[in-house]
């Protein structure tokens, strides 16, 4: 088993080094998400595993926009005042999941404290 060393000379196990984003599946997924105007917590939270996960076609979708009304200090998701509610997002997400041929998906959301029902309404809007 080979080992890497960090900047201080400490030995690190091989699995500690993450794959750089840019593989075929990564690029395909990124382009599809751009075209579909969808968000993932993978990108918004700057997850270091994105190169590996997306290359294995694993992603965590993030709904209700990309701006969170809370500002947890440990989280890299943008916080602030969201700009409205995108009622087409659930359908675009469903179509994208179908195009990707996924058997199951993981979906999370930003907090929407600006909405009376915190955004639950949008989930009832899937056709």
Binding site for ligand SF4 (CB under 6 A): 41-42, 47, 49-50, 53, 58-60
**Shortest Cβ distance from residue 116 to ligand SF4 (Å)?**
29
Q: What Cα–Cα distance (Å) separates residue 11 from each residue in 15, 49, 52?
A: 12, 20, 22
3-state secondary structure of 40: strand
**Shortest Cβ distance from residue 84 to ligand SF4 (Å)?**
25
- Nearest residue (CB) to ligand SF4, 59 versus 67: 59
Contact 108, 61 (CB under 8 A): yes
- Nearest residue (CB) to ligand SF4, 46 versus 99: 46
- Residue 118, Cβ neighbours under 10 Å: how many? 13
3-state secondary structure of 4: strand
- Nearest residue (CB) to ligand SF4, 38 versus 59: 59
**Shortest Cβ distance from residue 50 to ligand SF4 (Å)?**
4
């Amino acid at each position: 088993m080979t080992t890497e060393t960090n900047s201080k000379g400490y030995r690190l196990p091989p699995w500690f080094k993450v794959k750089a984003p840019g593989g075929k599946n990564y690029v395909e997924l990124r382009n599809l998400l751009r075209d579909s105007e969808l968000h993932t917590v993978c990108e918004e939270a700057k997850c270091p595993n994105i190169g590996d996960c997306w290359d294995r076609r694993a992603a965590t979708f993030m709904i209700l926009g990309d701006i969170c009304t809370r500002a947890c200090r440990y989280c890299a998701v943008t916080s602030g005042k969201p700009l409205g509610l995108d009622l087409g997002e659930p359908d675009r997400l469903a179509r994208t999941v179908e195009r990707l041929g996924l058997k199951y998906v993981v979906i999370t959301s930003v907090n929407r404290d600006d909405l009376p029902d915190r955004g639950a309404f949008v989930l009832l809007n899937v056709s």
